[in-house]
């Protein structure tokens, strides 16, 4: 059974703005799905549609075959959601907040406390557990939101920019935790972000959105094949034949576009046979960032 299913999902706001346009996605349990796109691409709207907070104007979406519109409370029991708009109570302390949400999710008071303390410890918030939320920094709030979303041990985690406002160390910690949750606990993660480098580190599949449309979807290899197959061979050498199409970086490294890694030994042989010397060779496959920019036409070509 799919963990998340979107079939021709569309949402047009009353003003006429089409935020999500016929999106199709199927996710298996345990996948870490990077839902990528610029601000206004429709990522948050999609999360709200999946959580039942918005009604689709077309298509449907479901969580473990439960329709988000028809049975939102059942969907909520299976999901944890972290979004910028879902805040917690400033007048309560960190642990009080977690205990409150634990009890609303049906945990007993002692269970909520135990689980809350564990999560605070994992997210390095133990020292601030008795501080009221108004004294928390943005990063601490963000981590507490993540703890809140995990209090009831959800099967699916919707994370909308979970590391915005976090310092690199905390962001790394959160990413490690997401990876662990997916790998060890089999939690499906639906991660909305525009931090493409981080996404590439932790996601197993990607969906690239722009202006409400899903431009491409698949694993990194699939996206490379579908969108931007060309790689770049980086070579530091002398005596390179003049007819070899290449671009020289300011550091003196030559970048030669290639279609596949098979071309690397052939090109190297040509340089050597023409009397050149090779000091270093590497190949660079298109990164997620390259694919993303290629798709959104922000850069004309893959680097």
Which residue number, 52 or 286, has a Cβ lying nearer to other proteins?
A: 52
| The pairing of beta strand 18-27 with beta strand 4-12 | antiparallel
Where in 47-106 is the site for other proteins (CB under 8 A)? 51-55, 72-74, 76-77, 79, 81, 83, 85-92, 100-101, 103-106
Which residue number, 3 or 107, has a Cβ lying nearer to other proteins?
A: 107
Which residue number, 129 or 270, has a Cβ lying nearer to other proteins?
A: 129
* CA separation, residue 182 to residues 6, 166, 202 (Å): 20, 21, 10
Of the candidates 158, 147, 148, 154, the one whose C-alpha atom is nearest the C-alpha of residue 43 is 158
Max Cα separation, the chain?
77
Please give the backbone phi and psi of residue 158, each rounded to the nearest 5 degrees, phi first.
-100, 115
Q: How far is the CB of 282 from other proteins (least distance, A)?
A: 46
Bridge partners, residue 193, by sequence: 36
d(CA 264, CA 34): 31
Q: How far is the CB of 97 from other proteins (least distance, A)?
A: 9
Q: How far is the CB of 143 from other proteins (least distance, A)?
A: 15
Where in 142-181 is the site for other proteins (CB under 8 A)? 148
Where in 35-54 is the site for other proteins (CB under 8 A)? 51-54
Where in 175-234 is the site for other proteins (CB under 8 A)? none
Count of residues touching other proteins (by CB under 8 A)? 28
Helix axes 138-150, 109-122, angle to 10 degrees: 130
Which residue number, 7 or 77, has a Cβ lying nearer to other proteins?
A: 77
d(CA 154, CA 137): 26
d(CA 106, CA 103): 5
Q: How far is the CB of 160 from other proteins (least distance, A)?
A: 11
Which residue number, 108 or 225, has a Cβ lying nearer to other proteins?
A: 108
| The pairing of beta strand 32-36 with beta strand 188-193 | parallel
Which residue number, 88 or 215, has a Cβ lying nearer to other proteins?
A: 88
Q: Which residues bind other proteins (CB under 8 A)?
A: 51-55, 72-74, 76-77, 79, 81, 83, 85-92, 100-101, 103-106, 148
């Amino acid at each position: 059974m799919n963990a998340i299913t979107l079939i021709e999902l569309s949402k047009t706001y009353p003003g006429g703005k089409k935020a999500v346009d016929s999106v199709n996605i199927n996710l298996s349990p345990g996948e870490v799905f990077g839902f990528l796109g610029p601000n206004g691409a429709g990522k948050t709207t999609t999360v709200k549609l999946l959580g039942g907070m918005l009604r689709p104007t077309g298509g449907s979406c479901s969580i473990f075959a439960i329709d988000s519109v028809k049975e939102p409370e059942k969907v909520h029991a299976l999901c944890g959601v972290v979004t910028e708009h879902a805040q917690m109570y400033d007048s309560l302390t960190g642990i009080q907040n977690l205990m409150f949400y634990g009890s609303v999710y049906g945990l007993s008071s002692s269970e909520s406390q135990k689980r809350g303390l564990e999560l605070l410890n994992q997210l390095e918030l133990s020292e601030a557990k008795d501080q009221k939320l108004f004294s928390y920094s943005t990063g601490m709030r963000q981590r507490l939101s993540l703890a809140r979303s995990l209090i009831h041990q959800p099967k699916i985690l919707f994370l909308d920019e979970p590391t915005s406002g976090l310092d690199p160390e905390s962001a790394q910690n959160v990413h490690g935790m997401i990876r662990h949750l997916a790998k060890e606990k089999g939690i499906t993660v639906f991660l909305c972000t525009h931090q493409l480098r981080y996404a590439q580190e932790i996601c197993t599949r990607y969906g690239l959105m722009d202006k409400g449309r899903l431009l491409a979807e698949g694993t990194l290899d699939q996206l490379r094949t579908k969108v931007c197959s060309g790689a770049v061979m980086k070579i530091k050498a002398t005596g390179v034949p003049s007819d070899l199409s290449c671009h020289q970086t300011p550091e003196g490294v030559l970048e030669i576009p290639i279609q596949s890694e098979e071309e690397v030994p052939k090109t190297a042989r040509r340089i050597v046979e023409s009397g050149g010397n090779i000091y270093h060779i590497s190949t660079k496959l298109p990164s997620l960032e390259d694919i993303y920019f290629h798709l959104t036409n922000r850069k004309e070509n893959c680097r």
